[in-house]
Structure 1
Amino acid sequence: MEMTGELLRLGFDFRDWGWAEAFLKGMAKPMAALAVVAMAVTLSRMQKLGIEGEMMYSISRGFVQLSLIGFVLQFIFNQENVAWIILAYLFMVSVAGYTAGQRAKQVPRGKLVAGASILSGTSLTILLLILLRVFPFTPRYIIPVAGMMVGNSMTVTGVTMKRLRDDIKAQSSLVETALALGATPRQATIQQVKRALVIALSPVLDNAKTVGLISLPGAMTGLIMGGASPLEAIQLQIVVMNMTIGASTVSSIMSTYLCWPAFFTPAYQLDAKVFSN
């Protein structure tokens, strides 16, 4: 009885199957949109690309994941406990850190470095937004905002780490010469660090330059389709653009500080094991 009462309080009355009926009715349009996936599968088969199975698996997995996360978010949005916000945020950071670390497999402790970098960049940005009263500290605002920042930081951090390691390997002779002349590891790799950061952050900056001219971003489009005025949608999109640049920049810079020490031995020499492959 206590469990039933708790579910009722949270808005999940499973004794009344009206919620299921409403959910299934709402899925009519997403199911109809599968027609474009069928078109893609058909074209793939005609061109003998061999990715039809991966297409169907990807869309099926995305369908299941989004359906489940919808119920999870509905549950969390009805909570008044701050712990649920923190748990959801840490879960996103953990998945993002693992994914970014997979991109930079040859960086020692890459998943841990990526996770810590993403955590530092996004948490600092969220804190500033809350202190400036841009967003209230509620699940309905913080979780979607954190998701956008974590997603962008994940991509930028993964590219930064991989590019930095590859550039140091390609220019190992220059780095070793600088070390031999008395430079610290950071000084010896400063050009590689700058190049990795510029390459990783360029897509984020290019997107900010062309936002609204080439395409309408997801947050803005969602608000307009949901009935909000274009002016309100633009205001939110500007906030999203600003916080994305801030979180991505902090995360990528932090990743260089956390991963470059693993490239060197205690004697300030390039670690041959890291650059052997």
Structure 2
Amino acid sequence: MWSIEPLLYALVSLCIGSAIGSLSWRWQQHAKRQWHQEARQILALAPLNGPSFALWHSRSYCPHCHHSLNATALIPLLSYAWLKGRCHHCHTPISLRYPIIEGLTLSCLLPLHGYAQNPLELVALTLLVSTLICAAIIDFESYWLPDSAHLVVFSCATIWLQSQQLDLYNHLFAGLVSLFLLLVLRGVYQFFRNMEAIGIGDAKLLAVLVYWQGPDALIEILLAASFLGLIFALIQRKTYSSAIPFGPFLIAASLLFFYLEIAL
């Protein structure tokens, strides 16, 4: 038998949440800079000045005054409360997104502690759920989903499926059917309405989510995600032509059904 203290796992989960908050913001800035560089190359313009935006190899810093943050300013949840939501150096308000992401990550990861049967399963599920949270944040804030996130989810799902001794080919076929279905719906909508209703990233995301949870999850995830997206659109008073990120609702629906399944 193996065990890990719940408190230790909770602390690790908070640290992961802090990392997700930083990584999701850096990932967006890094991608924007890359897109600008590619656009300038196509237009035969001079490249952007300054160093490239580092995803991993730089210390966290205040986005306003660019002062490097020390360890006491990076304690999940506690630092935000201690600093009263302001940068210690320039006193600019710190976005609420960081404590929200940390708390969200903690609440999503904690149920995995009592469910996983071995360390490999816990690590795979922790990385899978953390990646989904990061992808949801990026899509919600910037309206795109990173392909590398799909690859991480697919890899972690494969490890989990093997640990559960489930049929990989059955899950893979279900994922491919999901991808084909959404691409067909996307093409039909574009043909008749001349609008892109579903992004290719959403189709890839649904495919890996169904691969993870199995063929029975396809209809459940689509219906629940559509309902959540509709509620969001009504609350935000979105119009018919407004763009809505569908990825966060697909992820929320899949996590909801996964946790309901392991609770029953």
TM-score range normalised by the length of the shorter chain:
0.3 to 0.5
TM-score (normalised: structure 2): 0.35
TM-score (normalised: structure 1): 0.34
Bigger Rg, which one: 1
Question: Which has the larger share of helix?
Answer: 1
Relative contact order, higher structure (CA 8 A, sep 6+): 1
